[in-house]
A and B are shown apart, each in its own frame.
Chain A
Amino acid sequence: MNELTRMPASEQARLLADREVSARELTAAHLDRIAAVDEQVHAFLHVNERALEVAESIDARRAAGEAVGELAGVPVAIKDVLCTSDMPTTAASRILEGWVPPYDATVVSRLREAGLVPLGKTNMDEFAMGSSTEHSAYGPTRNPWDLERIPGGSGGGSSAAVAAFEAAIALGSDTGGSIRQPAAVTGTVGMKPTYGGVSRYGAIALASSLDQVGPVSRTVLDSAMLHDIIGGHDPRDSTSLTDQWPSFTEAARAGARAEAFKGLRVGVVKQLSGGEGFQAGVTQRFEAALTAMSDAGAEIVEVDAPNFEYAIAAYYLILPAEASSNLAKFDSVRFGLRVTPEGGGTVEDVMSATRAAGFGDEVKRRVILGTYALSAGYYDAYYGSAQKVRTLIQRDFDAAFRQADVLVSPSAPTTAFKLGERVDDPLAMYLNDLTTIPANLAGVPGIALPIGLAPEDGLPVGIQFMAPQRADARLYEVGAALESLLEQAWGHTLISQAPDLSLGEMLAATEGAV
Chain B
Amino acid sequence: MSESSTADITAEQVAHLAHLARIDLTPEELQRLTGELAQIVHAVEKVTEVATSDIPATSHPVALHNVFRPDVVGATLSTEAALAGAPEHDGSRFKVSAILGEEQ
- Interface residues, chain A, with chain B CB atoms under 8 Å away: 99-102, 194-196, 209-210, 235, 238-239, 241, 307, 310, 312-314, 316-317, 324, 328, 331-338, 340, 344-353, 355-356, 359, 364-365, 367-369, 371-372, 375, 381-382, 384-392, 394, 426-427, 440-443, 469
Q: Hey, which chain A residues are within 8 Å of B9, CB to CB?
A: 372
**CB distance A385 to B47 under 8 Å?**
yes
Q: Could you jot down 21 A-B contacts, CB within 8 Å? A: A210-B61, A239-B64, A241-B62, A307-B50, A310-B46, A310-B47, A312-B44, A314-B44, A328-B22, A345-B97, A350-B96, A368-B18, A368-B23, A372-B17, A384-B57, A385-B48, A388-B47, A388-B57, A390-B58, A427-B43, A443-B62
Q: CB < 8 Å: which of A209, A324, A389, A390 contacts B21? A: A324
Q: CB < 8 Å: which of A310, A344, A353, A372 contacts B49? A: A310
A432 to chain B, nearest CB (A): 15
**CB distance A368 to B14 under 8 Å?**
yes
Q: Hey, which chain B residues are within 8 Å of A392, CB to CB?
A: 50, 55
**CB distance A426 to B40 under 8 Å?**
yes
- Report the Cα distance A120→B19, complex, angstroms: 37
Q: Hey, which chain A residues are within 8 Å of B52, CB to CB?
A: 388
- Report the Cα distance A345→B36, complex, angstroms: 30
**CB distance A347 to B97 under 8 Å?**
yes
Q: Which of B43, B44, B86, B100 lies at the interface centre, i.e. has the most chain A CB atoms within 10 A of its CB?
A: B44
Q: Hey, which chain B residues are within 8 Å of A99, CB to CB?
A: 85
- Report the Cα distance A328→B21, complex, angstroms: 7
A478 to chain B, nearest CB (A): 21
> How many cross-chain pairs have Cβ atoms below 8 Å apart between A and B?
182
- Report the Cα distance A442→B100, complex, angstroms: 45
A419 to chain B, nearest CB (A): 21
Beyond A209-B61, A348-B100, A375-B20, list 18 extra A-B contacts (CB 8 Å).
A100-B85, A238-B64, A241-B62, A312-B44, A313-B44, A316-B40, A336-B87, A356-B23, A368-B14, A372-B17, A381-B45, A382-B44, A384-B57, A386-B51, A387-B58, A391-B56, A391-B58, A440-B61
**B73 CB-CB contact with A under 8 Å:** no
**Least CB separation from A351: chain B residue:** B22
**CB distance B97 to A350 under 8 Å?**
yes
**CB distance A368 to B21 under 8 Å?**
yes
Q: Hey, which chain A residues are within 8 Å of B62, CB to CB?
A: 194-196, 239, 241, 443, 469
User: In chain B between 42 and 82, which residues have their CB closer than 8 angstroms to a CB of chain A?
Assistant: 43-52, 55-62, 64, 67, 69, 77, 81-82
**CB distance A371 to B17 under 8 Å?**
yes
| Contacts A332-B87, A334-B85, A368-B14; A352 near B22 (Cβ below 8 A) | yes
**Least CB separation from B48: chain A residue:** A385
**CB distance A365 to B99 under 8 Å?**
no
**Least CB separation from B30: chain A residue:** A368
A159 to chain B, nearest CB (A): 24
**CB distance B23 to A367 under 8 Å?**
yes
A187 to chain B, nearest CB (A): 29
**CB distance B59 to A313 under 8 Å?**
no
Identify the 9 closest CB pairs spanning chains A and B, nearest first. Answer: A443-B61, A385-B51, A338-B87, A387-B57, A335-B85, A388-B51, A356-B24, A102-B81, A390-B58
Q: Hey, which chain B residues are within 8 Å of A394, CB to CB?
A: 58, 61
Q: Hey, which chain A residues are within 8 Å of B47, CB to CB?
A: 310, 313-314, 317, 382, 385-386, 388-389
- Report the Cα distance A192→B13, complex, angstroms: 37
- Report the Cα distance A368→B41, complex, angstroms: 11
